[in-house]
Amino acid sequence: MENLGQQNIIIRRVKKNRHEEHGGAWKVAMADFAIAMMALFIVLWLTNSSNEEEREAIAGYFQDPQAYEDGKRIPSAYVIDLGGTPTTADETAVSETLDPEKILQAEEIESLAEAIERARLEQLKAEIEAKIEASPTLSPFKNQMTIDITTEGLRIQIVDQTKRPMFNAGSAVLKYYSEDILYELAPMLMTVDNPLSITGHTDADAYASANPEDDVNWELSAKRANSARRALMEAGVEKSQIAQILGMGDTAP
CA angle 245, 220, 170 (to 5 degrees): 140
What's the burial of 78, exposed, middle or buried (CB within 10 Å: 0-12/13-18/19+)?
A: middle
What's the burial of 150, exposed, middle or buried (CB within 10 Å: 0-12/13-18/19+)?
A: exposed
Q: How many helices (H) and strands (E) would you count in the chain?
A: 6, 6
**Cα–Cα dist 56/62, whole Å:** 10
Q: Which range is least confidently modeled, 60-64, 112-116, 222-226?
A: 60-64
3-state DSSP call for residue 90? coil
- The CATH number covering residue 210 comes to 3.30.1330.60
Angle subtended by helix axes 52-63 and 25-49, to nearest 10: 140
Residue 182 φ/ψ, nearest 5 degrees: -65, -35
Tell me, yes or no, whether 150 lies in a domain: yes
Mean pLDDT of 125-146: 90
Number of domains present in the structure of the chain: 1
Tell me, yes or no, whether 99 lies in a domain: no
3-state DSSP call for residue 116? helix
**Cα–Cα dist 141/177, whole Å:** 9
Tell me, yes or no, whether 53 lies in a domain: no
How far apart, in Å, are the Cα atoms of 32 and each of 44, 85, 141, 217? 19, 36, 79, 80
pLDDT at 79: 39
pLDDT at 99: 63
The string of DSSP letters for 124-182 reads HHHHHHHHHHH-TTTGGGGGGEEEEEETTEEEEEE--BTTB-SB-TT--SBPHHHHHHH
How far apart, in Å, are the Cα atoms of 202 and each of 32, 101, 119, 158, 224? 79, 51, 33, 13, 8
Tell me, yes or no, whether 98 lies in a domain: no
**Cα–Cα dist 25/20, whole Å:** 12
Tell me, yes or no, whether 182 lies in a domain: yes
Give residue 90's identity as a one-letter amino acid code. D
pLDDT of 86 strictly over 70 = no
Mean pLDDT of 121-142: 90
pLDDT of 207 strictly over 60 = no
pLDDT of 238 strictly over 90 = yes
pLDDT at 194: 83
Say if residues 178 and 222 touch (Cβ distance below 8 Å).
no
pLDDT tens-place string over residues 173-205: 999 999 999 999 999 889 888 888 998 888 766
pLDDT tens-place string over residues 88-99: 444 444 455 556
3-state DSSP call for residue 210? coil
Tell me, yes or no, whether 194 lies in a domain: yes
Tell me, yes or no, whether 171 lies in a domain: yes
Q: Give the global pTM.
A: 0.55
Domain of 141 in residue numbering reads as 105-247
Tell me, yes or no, whether 181 lies in a domain: yes
